[in-house]
Chain A
Amino acid sequence: KAGVTQTPRYLIKTRGQQVTLSCSPISGHRSVSWYQQTPGQGLQFLFEYFSETQRNKGNFPGRFSGRQFSNSRSEMNVSTLELGDSALYLCASSFDSGGALKETQYFGPGTRLLVL
Chain B
Amino acid sequence: AQKVTQAQTEISVVEKEDVTLDCVYETRDTTYYLFWYKQPPSGELVFLIRRNSFDEQNEISGRYSWNFQKSTSSFNFTITASQVVDSAVYFCALRPPAGKLTFGKGITLSVRP
A-B interface pairs (CB < 8 A), number: 53
Complex Cα spacing A25 to B31, Å: 27
Closest residue of A by beta carbon distance from B98:
A56
Contact indicator A104/B44 (Cβ below 8 Å)? no
CB neighbours (8 Å) of B97 from chain A are: 101
**Chain B at the A interface: mostly helix, strand, loop or mixed?**
loop
For this complex, into which size category does the number of interface residues on chain A fall? 20 to 34
Of all chain B residues, the one with the shortest Cβ separation from A44 is B103
Cβ distance A38 to chain B, nearest Cβ, rounded Å: 11
Residues of B within 8 A of A (CB): 31-33, 35, 37, 42-47, 50, 52, 91, 95-106
Write 17 A-B pairs (CB below 8 A) sorted by A numbering.
A33-B101, A35-B101, A42-B105, A42-B106, A43-B91, A48-B99, A88-B43, A101-B31, A102-B50, A104-B50, A105-B47, A105-B101, A107-B44, A107-B47, A109-B43, A110-B43, A112-B43
Q: Which residues of A contact B (CB under 8 A)?
A: 33, 35, 42-43, 45, 48, 55-56, 58, 88, 90, 92, 100-102, 104-110, 112
